[in-house]
Structure 1
Amino acid sequence: MATQKPQPFPFEHALSLDPLIDFWRQEARATSSPRARLAGIILSMLEEAPEVCGPAIEPEVLEHHHNLLDLMMTAVFPMATSDQVLGAAFIPFELRSFYATEAFARLNLTERLHDDVLINDKPFGETELHETKSILQAYHHILREFYGVDSQAEFSVIATTPEAESGLERHYKIQMDTRFLSVACRGEVKPLSEQDIQRMLANPTNLALWQDLLPPDLFFFRGFTVVTAV
């Protein structure tokens, strides 16, 4: 059986901490918030590190700001549970993390994210590749953000890694959180009829259909994706 060729990810996308920075700005304004003081400290540190702000940054920039990043990421992963919670932050739609909890890094789970891909807890197919899954995940995000339609499609990965002591394989379900990921449209949002939307929902993995109705060059993504393993 011929192996399906990977499709290049067609959407413009970039790592940005701006959605997370916006979160801390809101916390700083909420004087009753228990995190208001920490938010003030983070915003002061950001004034000294303008290179980590903006709509597109290189992950290498963050290597010089470990302390700042640790504080900022407490919005996602409490610092006290870093050695217990299996979590990481990834460049949008790429298998490249720029931050990971101690527990996640210890298991080297980033290297295991090529394993079994699931959509709604069903196997995506042996010949389907990460790039295709990422494109579909992006489209479902667009459908929710611009058309108010939640497809209820859940994208996850089963990662398998051996336990250090016993050597037995352990399976983890990798879940993705897009709360710090934003998508914007170039120009006017293309209208979709109710019939178009129903066709898309009836064919949640039909990439050709989704690309025909929503050309990918109309959209661009900024932010990052949070990944947790359970």
Structure 2
Amino acid sequence: MNPTILDALGVAAVAAPVHDLSMWGLFWQADAVVKLVMLGLVGASVWTWAIIFDKAMKLRRMKAAAAQFEERFWSGGSLDALFDEVSANPADPLSATFAAGMQEWRMASEKGLGGNSSLRTGLAQRVERVMSVTVGREMANAERYMTVLASVGSAGPFVGLFGTVWGIMRAFTNIAAQQNTSLAVVAPGIAEALFATAIGLVAAIPAVLAYNIFSSDLARFGERLDSFVTEFSAILQRHLEERG
């Protein structure tokens, strides 16, 4: 082969840019805007996983504590003794709801408000209302950061898509500047752009799955609390009727 041609090929090989197509290389070679998008999505993913682990552990503890409390509540023991035990530091929303209802009941009983039918009816309604307010407060606390999961799950793919669109625009700008449409020129820029979408999906998919699972578990736990309020209110109502 002609040495001049070999020399030209050698020069071309040296001049051709070398692209690192590993994940780390795709990040460092990306445009500043795409890098910012990637870093934001990685941060959102880390935050999402922290919420997922924290929420899973809390739900597990809540369910275990609620089951233990219900077993003691329905064992036939003294409700006053149970209240004295759990009122200082309720371990779960169910015991907190019970403590709020019993506290209102005790305060009213000490004032002698259960003496006639109208006051008895008002007392029963007030106790149920206090427990319902406690249920709402406890469920609001249990549902903290659920909006983060919903936001990451819904917005993550679009944020990644924004990074992809920006990266593809930059890739086509480079193609126009170099006036070269070969795959070696096109592929690195497209790969960097698509990497942003991949990170967006990595952040969004666990967030969506976790949100659906936790929402279902929390809804069932809320129904469990509402059922307890109804049952406990019925018990107090029967007690008031017996006293009347």
TM range (shorter): under 0.3
- Bigger-Rg structure (1/2): 2
TM-score by length of 2: 0.22
- Which protein has the bigger helix share? 2
- Which protein has the bigger strand share? 1
